[in-house]
Amino acid sequence: MGDLVEITTWPKHLNAFYKITSNALAFEVKAAGNAALGLSRKPANNCDFWIVLGEGQRCFIKKMSSRHCESASTPGILSADEYHKFWLTWCNGCVRLGRDGYSDPIVSCINDVHDMKYVTFSVVEQRNPVHWRFEIPPSIEKTKFKPITGSELHWVTYEPGRDLPEELLVGGFEKENLYIARAKHRGSLTPGKYVRSLGKAYIPWGGQSTEKPEFELLCGFDGFWVPTCDDKIPVGAFIAGYSEDNLERLYIGRALYEGHLIPGKVAPSHKVCYIPYEGREISVKKFEILVSPKENDRCVNKIFVSDRVSYVQPDIEEYDVPDSDYSNETDEENVAF
């Protein structure tokens, strides 16, 4: 059900437009003279169509961009004492006016105007008012979206026997969903995969897929995957750890291998993504890297060697990586893991 509206139109009144989204209108009229409805794509006095009831005991539909109109003889169609019910449709290439309870229209007119969704009610050359009743779709306020909080990517320590975090990030698929883990190993902090059915994490290191009993899981959903290859690290790539030699920053990558999508690690100096698979460390040349809008874009492609920093400029034209703000300055925030 829509909202029931009752209005009275007077001579020389300002037209009020009502939005109708169903391409159809059921209405009632009580008038001593003539009554008119306008159809329009937008609220404006120059409507695309005018539908007039009772004009000289006739009804007609006129397209305003054409001199021609369609009309029919309708004596006694309106009454000054009681409401008479009608319907109006504008769909399937035709505007139709009909009486309530009858499927055949009183009069119809070809319509090639699209997206008419406004109706107005008026008076035609007379001094008497016209009374209307009609239904319009209920007014629905547009939903106001609130920003989601707590979505930032963050690490949670895995605790055996306890429920996993609800915001656990899915990182791939290998017979089941894979999640992203990281663990310390021989001086490194290395990202890899977590297999929920086994309750175990595996990291790629030294040519092997190494099982780790203690690890962290990546949670949140404020991230997206960017395809790349070699040492082309996108701006905003999420830093997941560091290597055992020279403390090179490690990123989270994932790659297709034998029909599986497996998360692993990306060390820019190696120019591949390493994934743990069936006990081995597999290197893949084409892969994706996890990017977070929150990540400091000044940290992209920095390789840390002792106390100095070297910068690797991405091939922007080939890989369409956004410009970064490169600087020769270093500070504790950029160096510390």
What is the tens place of the pLDDT at every residue in 190-232?
Answer: 999 999 999 999 999 999 999 999 999 999 988 899 999 998 9
pLDDT-based confidence at 145, cuts 50/70/90?
low
Phi first, then psi, for residue 63 (nearest 5°) are -85, 125
For the chain, the residue count is 337
- Annotated domain spans of the chain: 3-136, 154-313+326-335
Query: What is the residue-averaged pLDDT of the chain?
Result: 83
- pTM value is 0.48
Cα separation values, 280 from 203, 206, 251, 268, 277, Å:
10, 9, 19, 20, 5
Task: Output the six-digit token pair for 69.
Answer: 């109109």
**What pLDDT does residue 136 have?**
81
Q: Check whether 272 has a pLDDT greater than 70.
A: yes
Q: Is 134:26 a contact under the CB 8 Å cutoff?
A: yes
* CATH 3.30.420.40 fits domain 3-136: no
Q: Check whether 306 has a pLDDT greater than 70.
A: no
Of 166, 169, 191, nearest in space to 181 by CA: 191
Strand, coil or helix: 255: strand
pLDDT-based confidence at 146, cuts 50/70/90?
low
∠ CA 305-307-309, rounded to 5°? 60
Higher pLDDT, 157 or 320: 157
